[in-house]
């Protein structure tokens, strides 16, 4: 275990002080090193650590509001938020940061525990969590779960759902008490490569604060950027006055749309989104002007001083307004109803007319933020060519699709010679399918001809990113007298916000998976995408199916109740069977959903059994189910990967497979090790640099295991075959046998082509992940508050590659799903931080259980698919169904806030 580092002399830190501020000389120790510095009262410990000492393990997620805990360090044996701690108050103090605990080569036991417990996904929250855990364990080596939750109550995590973090602190306690050791835990994992929870390759770097996220990267001479953004949802830009900002200290220059040399369009599907707005802003947050200065504070001060003359225009707030007769167009050249797609299978009208029972309801979901903890940072600079050729523009950022995003940037800023490098990334959940801060950073590096760092605040990051689309769904669902579904009629209107992004794809995904887990012989659906002046929608964990499944799965419970059939039995009775077709008409070959229902039966009955026979008080308990069938491998999708054996006999895996926390690094190394029957330490990864990788598509849609993993298996099998031919697994042997050292692998989805534009019939996703989820809740009928007691998920995604990573995805999805169901909503102009967003906390966390069924998929990667989005799909309907079970009301307008639950209860009185 690494302890404090000894010191022999005092280091003197030179700090830039504010003119006129009162100064103070202080001494303190940081990670055992004595330091002396002169400070004014403004210097925050977080800035001193990160900017002066380069100790970037402490992170910043919230805007220094004490809301995230990512900046937690230990001062005088207590966990403190370094963003709220003034250095001037620390004379004589002893400060420990995550770097002072241990290194990847010699980690602290708590760092080991976090790595071995699967408590680290993106790792952005991890240093703060570890420091809060250390402060607890220093005084209590055997804390209860409640004590752990209390000690870590100020630390947020978006990825894990908190369960694994609690487990990590418990394991750290066991290590510290001497009950077991990291070596013993590792030994239990064994040698097998697949089906084993080997620690993720980046885990220890993240635990030790050594993984560089974008804001941790400094470039000598870099300018800091700040952006002027529109406060109006719709306005014309009549003029921009820079005069008050021009002579402010540190200001280097300004940039507007006319300074962007390319198309100034960040085109995903349509060229409708500018890097910087030219003459019109279309939502609150649209970028209008950029300022570059020597420091971030100077840039922000200058941005404040810039005056924009706006002519406000009527803003279209809802799809209904956008679709009204004579409505103004959000984009002059594209109608407000910018895309529509029907889906027709059989004759739903006739089938509904002759059904024994039909339910009819309207479901609405909210605009939501995906809420990765890391702000949307980007660094960009021109790298001089040694031979005097054109310099290369290097963009370092948060992309999950570096090749495609580089292509978008090349056109937008008009510069071909470019390289995109993916930094370590603090979560994504769909938000990073789009280019955000990179557009401005890339254009600014070219314009100012100096390196730039664009590190937006959390509030600005919320404004500049795409959101989860709100869906408005009118549903009719019918069944015959035997309780078999007859028809589904669903009319869907999607608020696309100001820009297209992948809105059409989101609608397509909802329709591909519209019939969910069930055999519905007749389907009639119409989905339309509508521009408004709201924040723009894009990918968000699940992207389409969570919204449509919310309506379908609640409708299933409504219909089951109307027919007097148990909800679990109703789902089993209507499960699709191999040979039957989905709403797209695509016939399925495998459908292991009934087996999942069987697996869940005991938990479901147990949950029901825990509901008291009489619930007289205000607290009512209920259970609810939600199912999901999530498609993986859409028609035409493909990936390419490569493996190469190097002179040191290590094998490098090449391919642009982003890992913003899901565990793709583990997936790749474990699959390759499994195929080649070699130890994990023979493999290394080259996945984050466009110059060194092939494009493999976005790390989104839960597609990486199925596609990139499949391509890697192909490449690894070829290399294995060559080694067998050479008679040895070494570089020299291959060379001697005159065999190539590099092999390319491919995977392609067999079907291709879009849905028929008139009928929505056509090829569908090649494989499915299945889930059935059980929510157990308590509803306080006095306050309307809903408490999730437990979520149980039964999931079949095929053979498991890394159980801890997979369960981590399931748990994180359940936690996000619960936030979606009950609290979270993004309101433009109002949602500005983690408190107004209602970020899930240790306090709102709940018990979770994951049951894994492993049916090998016919076309899977060694039988496996992917699972990253699965539990986001059925969680909200399971909770809403449980609320209904508890107190008899339907809340069909997400989120089910206490006010909405109370209002629904009041209507029943």
Binding site for ligand FES (CB under 6 A): 60-62, 64, 66-71, 81, 83, 120-126, 157-160, 373, 427, 661
Q: What is the Cα–Cα distance from 199 to 635, expressed in whole angstroms? A: 33
Give the three-class secondary structure for 667: helix
Closest separation in Å from C-beta 503 to ligand FES: 27
Check 376, 553, 811, 869 and give the catalytic one.
869
Q: Which is nearer to ligand FES, 121 or 214 (CB)?
A: 121
Closest separation in Å from C-beta 597 to ligand FES: 32
The region, left, alpha or beta by phi > 0 then psi within -120 to 50, assigned to residue 296 is: alpha
> 531 pairs with which residues across the strands?
497
Residue ranges in 689-847 assigned as alpha helix (H): 708-726, 731-736, 803-822, 834-837
869 part of the active site? yes
Closest separation in Å from C-beta 703 to ligand FES: 20
Quickly count helices (H) and strands (E) in the chain: 25, 31
Closest separation in Å from C-beta 278 to ligand FES: 35
Measured over the CA atoms of residue 823, residue 824, residue 827 and residue 830, the dihedral's sign is: positive
Q: Which is nearer to ligand FES, 154 or 468 (CB)?
A: 154
Q: What is the Cα–Cα distance from 629 to 553, expressed in whole angstroms? A: 11
Size of the chain, expressed as the number of residues it contains: 909
Q: Which is nearer to ligand FES, 458 or 719 (CB)?
A: 458
Greatest Cα-to-Cα distance within the chain, rounded to the nearest angstrom: 88
Closest separation in Å from C-beta 119 to ligand FES: 8
The bridge status of strand 485-497 relative to strand 522-531 is: parallel
Q: Which is nearer to ligand FES, 31 or 126 (CB)?
A: 126
Contacts of 775 (CB under 8 A, 6+ apart): 623, 624, 625, 626, 788, 790, 791, 875, 878, 879, 881, 882
Closest separation in Å from C-beta 65 to ligand FES: 6
Q: How far is CA 473 from CA 121, 361, 552, 560, 666, in A?
A: 34, 8, 10, 20, 39
Closest CA to 438 of 299, 279, 260: 260
Sheet holding 452-454, edge to edge: 251-255, 287-293, 223-229, 452-454, 378-383, 392-397, 418-422
Q: Which is nearer to ligand FES, 169 or 316 (CB)?
A: 169
Give the three-class secondary structure for 860: coil
Closest separation in Å from C-beta 48 to ligand FES: 13
Q: Which is nearer to ligand FES, 67 or 855 (CB)?
A: 67
Closest separation in Å from C-beta 56 to ligand FES: 13
Identify the helix (H) or strand (E) that includes residue 341. Answer: strand 337-345
Q: Which is nearer to ligand FES, 453 or 900 (CB)?
A: 453
Q: What is the Cα–Cα distance from 842 to 239, expressed in whole angstroms? A: 47
**92-102 as b/e: b if 16+ CB within 10 A:** ebbbbbbbbbb
Q: What is the Cα–Cα distance from 444 to 452, expressed in whole angstroms? A: 7
Q: Which is nearer to ligand FES, 58 or 315 (CB)?
A: 58
Closest separation in Å from C-beta 197 to ligand FES: 16
Q: Which is nearer to ligand FES, 593 or 834 (CB)?
A: 834
Q: How far is CA 615 from CA 27, 286, 618, 621, in A?
A: 62, 51, 8, 8
Catalytic residue IDs: 869
């Amino acid at each position: 275990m690494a302890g404090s580092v000894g010191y022999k002399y005092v280091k003197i830190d030179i700090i830039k002080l504010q003119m006129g501020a009162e100064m103070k000389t202080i001494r303190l120790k940081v990670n055992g090193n004595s330091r002396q510095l002169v400070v004014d009262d403004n210097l925050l410990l977080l800035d001193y650590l990160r900017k002066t000492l380069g100790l970037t393990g402490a992170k910043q997620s919230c805007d220094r509001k004490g809301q995230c805990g990512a900046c937690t360090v230990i001062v005088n044996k207590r966990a403190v938020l370094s963003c709220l701690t003034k250095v001037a108050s620390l004379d004589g103090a002893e400060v420990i940061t995550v770097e002072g605990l241990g290194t990847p080569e010699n980690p602290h036991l708590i760092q080991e525990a976090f790595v071995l417990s699967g408590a680290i996904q993106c790792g952005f929250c991890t240093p703060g969590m570890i420091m809060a855990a250390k402060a607890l364990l220093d005084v209590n080596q055997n804390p209860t779960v409640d004590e752990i939750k209390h000690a870590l109550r100020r630390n947020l995590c978006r990825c894990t759902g908190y369960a694994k973090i609690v487990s990590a602190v418990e394991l750290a306690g066991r290590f510290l008490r001497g009950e077991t050791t990291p070596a013993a835990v590792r030994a239990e994992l064994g040698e097998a490569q697949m089906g084993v929870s080997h620690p993720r390759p980046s885990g220890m770097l993240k635990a030790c604060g050594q993984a560089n996220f974008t804001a941790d990267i400094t470039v000598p001479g870099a300018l800091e950027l700040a952006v002027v953004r529109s406060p109006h949802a719709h306005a014309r830009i009549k003029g921009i006055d820079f005069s008050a900002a021009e002579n402010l200290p540190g200001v280097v220059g300004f940039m507007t749309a006319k300074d962007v040399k390319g198309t100034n369009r960040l085109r995903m599907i349509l060229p409708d989104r500018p890097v910087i707005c030219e003459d019109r802003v279309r939502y609150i947050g649209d970028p209008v002007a950029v300022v570059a200065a020597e420091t971030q504070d100077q840039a922000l001060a200058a941005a404040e001083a810039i005056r924009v003359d706006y002519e406000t225009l009527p803003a279209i707030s809802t799809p209904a307004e956008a679709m009204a007769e004579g409505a103004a167009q959000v984009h002059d050249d594209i109608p407000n109803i910018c895309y529509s797609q029907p889906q027709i299978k059989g004759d739903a009208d006739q089938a509904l007319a002759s059904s024994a029972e039909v339910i009819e309801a309207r479901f609405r979901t909210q605009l939501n933020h995906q809420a990765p903890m890391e702000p949307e940072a980007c660094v960009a600079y021109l790298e001089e060519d040694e031979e005097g050729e054109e310099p290369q523009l290097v963009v370092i950022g948060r992309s999950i699709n570096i090749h495609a995003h580089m292509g978008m940037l090349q056109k937008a800023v008009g510069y071909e010679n470019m390289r995109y490098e993916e930094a370590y990334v603090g979560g994504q959940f769909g938000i990073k399918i789009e280019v955000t801060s990179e557009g401005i950073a890339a254009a600014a590096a070219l314009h100012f001809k100096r390196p730039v760092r664009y590190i937006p605040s959390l509030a600005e990051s919320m404004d500049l990113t795409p959101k989860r689309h709100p869906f408005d769904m009118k549903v009719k669902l019918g069944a015959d007298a035997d309780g078999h579904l007859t028809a589904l009629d669903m009319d869907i209107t999607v608020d696309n916000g100001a820009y297209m992004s992948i809105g059409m794809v989101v609608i397509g995904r909802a329709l591909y998976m519209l019939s969910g887990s069930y055999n519905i012989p007749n389907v009639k659906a119409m989905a339309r995408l509508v521009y408004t002046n709201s924040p723009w929608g894009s990918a968000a964990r699940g992207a389409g199916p969570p919204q449509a499944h919310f309506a379908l799965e609640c409708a299933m419970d409504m219909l089951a109740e109307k027919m007097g059939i148990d909800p679990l039995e109703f789902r089993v009775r209507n499960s699709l069977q191999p040979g039957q077709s989905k709403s797209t008409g695509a016939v399925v070959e495998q459908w292991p959903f009934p087996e999942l229902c069987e697996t869940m039966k005991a938990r479901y009955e147990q949950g029901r059994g825990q509901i008291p026979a009489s619930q007289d008080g205000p607290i009512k308990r209920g259970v609810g189910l939600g199912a999901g069938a999530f498609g993986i491998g859409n028609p035409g999708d493909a990936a390419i990967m490569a493996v190469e054996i190097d002179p040191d006999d290590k094998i490098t895996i090449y391919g642009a497979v982003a890992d913003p926390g899901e565990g793709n690094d583990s997936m790749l190394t474990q699959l390759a090790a499994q195929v080649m029957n070699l130890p994990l330490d023979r493999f290394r990864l080259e996945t984050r640099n466009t110059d060194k990788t092939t494009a493999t598509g976005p790390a989104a849609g839960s597609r990486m295991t199925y596609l990139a993993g499949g391509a890697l298996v192909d490449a690894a099998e070829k290399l294995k075959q060559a080694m067998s031919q050479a008679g040895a697994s070494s570089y020299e042997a291959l060379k001697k046998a005159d065999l190539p050292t590099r092999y390319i692998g491919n995977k392609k989805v067999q079907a291709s082509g879009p849905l028929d534009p008139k009928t929505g019939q056509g090829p569908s996703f090649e494989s499915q992940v299945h889930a059935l989820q059980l929510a157990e809740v308590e509803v306080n009928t006095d306050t309307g508050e809903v408490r999730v007691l437990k979520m149980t998920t039964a999931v079949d995604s095929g053979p498991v590659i890394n159980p801890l990573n997979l369960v981590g995805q399931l748990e994180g999805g359940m936690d996000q799903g619960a936030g979606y169901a009950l609290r979270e909503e993004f309101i433009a102009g109002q949602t500005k931080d983690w408190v107004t967003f209602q970020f899930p906390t240790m306090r709102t966390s709940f018990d979770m259980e994951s049951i894994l069924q492993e049916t090998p998929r016919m076309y899977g990667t060694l039988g496996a698919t992917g699972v990253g989005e699965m539990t986001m799909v059925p969680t909200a309907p399971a909770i809403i169904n449980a609320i209904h079970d508890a107190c008899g009301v339907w809340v069909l307008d997400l989120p089910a806030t206490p006010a909405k639950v109370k209002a629904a209860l009041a209507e029943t009185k």
